[in-house]
Amino acid sequence: MQSYVVRVWLPDRPGALGAVASRIGAVRGDVIGIDILETGDGVAVDELLVRIPQDSPVALLTSEIEEVDGVVVEDVKPADATGRDPRLDALETAALLCGASTMDDLLDALVVHGGRTLGADWAAVVDLGTGTTRAARGPAPTEAWLAAFVRGARAGGEQASGGDDVAWAPLPGVDLALVAGRTGTPFRAKERHQVAALARIAGTRAREVGRERSRRLHPSRPTGG
């Protein structure tokens, strides 16, 4: 058996998902996971974890799914070979962020593990004051592009400045922002909420790291008896 992550657009009506599952069964496949990424305007965007036999072509799987009226397959990609649970992966990333003892360790964990959790091709942390890139993972755009993107996103929203394949969120209280991107698969509403959640966790830990560093550099003097 082989597993794939299949992202589909389907009418937000009773029975639509069941019809899709039935077509997947027609090629001897099983739906073993469902994640609802976005709903609105009568349409839902779902991500299905599908297992099919080795001898079942992916093209056949796609064509069968699209036999359902109103359903469009947006993307198909092999599932993570490690079989990781996305929910567990998110919790592990949060634990790594909370356990970081220095700012460098925190930002590295955010772009490396946070980027993986988000399914991003690249991730970067941008200083909102200077526009410099503080950390990056993967084929991130240039520092100048990232700085321009964040300026535009803060002024008019990410759609106006970078497209739906880039997502960002500020780290509260530390004048930094997380930016993530990928090619070919837009970030949906749930995924943008995940970006913001990771940024909030990282921002909280960054403030704690700053206070801990300040205490080390300026320890309280013992009071006299």
CATH number at residue 6: 3.30.70.260
Cα Rg for the chain, rounded, in angstroms?
Answer: 21
Helical spans, DSSP H, in the chain: 16-26, 58-65, 86-99, 103-109, 115-117, 143-156, 158-161, 189-217
Q: Each residue of 44-65: pLDDT tens digit?
A: 999 999 999 988 889 999 999 9
- How far is residue 50's CA from residue 76's CA, in Å, rounded to a whole number? 10
**What are the backbone angles phi and psi of residue 25, rounded to the nearest 5°?**
-65, -30
Task: Give the per-residue pLDDT at 171.
Answer: 96
- Whether 140 and 52 share a structural domain: no
- How far is residue 192's CA from residue 166's CA, in Å, rounded to a whole number? 9
What value does the mean pLDDT take over residues 187-194? 90
- Whether 55 and 130 share a structural domain: no
- Whether 63 and 112 share a structural domain: no
Burial class (CB in 10 A: 0-12, 13-18, 19+), 179: buried
Host H or E run for residue 5? strand 2-11
Query: Which residues, listed in sequence order, are joined to residue 126 by a DSSP beta bridge?
Result: 133, 177
- Whether 199 and 121 share a structural domain: yes
Task: Give the per-residue pLDDT at 83.
Answer: 52
What value does the mean pLDDT take over residues 170-184? 94
Q: Each residue of 80-113: pLDDT tens digit?
A: 654 556 677 888 999 999 999 999 999 999 999 9
Task: Give the per-residue pLDDT at 77.
Answer: 85
Half-sphere exposure of 7 (CA within 13 A, CB side): 14
| Long-range Cβ contacts of 133-136 (<8 Å, 24+ apart) | 134/107, 134/176, 135/104, 135/107, 135/108, 135/110, 135/111, 136/111
Task: Give the per-residue pLDDT at 82.
Answer: 44
- Edge to edge, the sheet with strand 30-40 lists 30-40, 43-52, 2-11, 72-78
Cα-Cα end-to-end distance for the chain: 74
- Whether 105 and 160 share a structural domain: yes
- Choosing from 58, 78, 98, the residue where a domain stops is 78
Helix axes 16-26 and 58-65, enclosed angle (nearest 10): 150
- Choosing from 78, 113, 139, the residue where a domain stops is 78
- How far is residue 62's CA from residue 8's CA, in Å, rounded to a whole number? 10
What value does the mean pLDDT take over residues 139-151? 95
Percent of the chain with pLDDT over 70: 91
Q: Judge whether 225 lies within some domain.
A: no
Task: Give the per-residue pLDDT at 163.
Answer: 66
CATH number at residue 206: 3.30.450.40
| Domain residue limits at 134 | 86-217
Task: Give the per-residue pLDDT at 85.
Answer: 64
Model confidence at 162: pLDDT above 70: no
Whether residue 97 contacts residue 109, with contact meaning beta carbons closer than 8 Å, is answered with yes
Please, which pLDDT band fits residue 32 given cuts at 50, 70 and 90?
A: confident
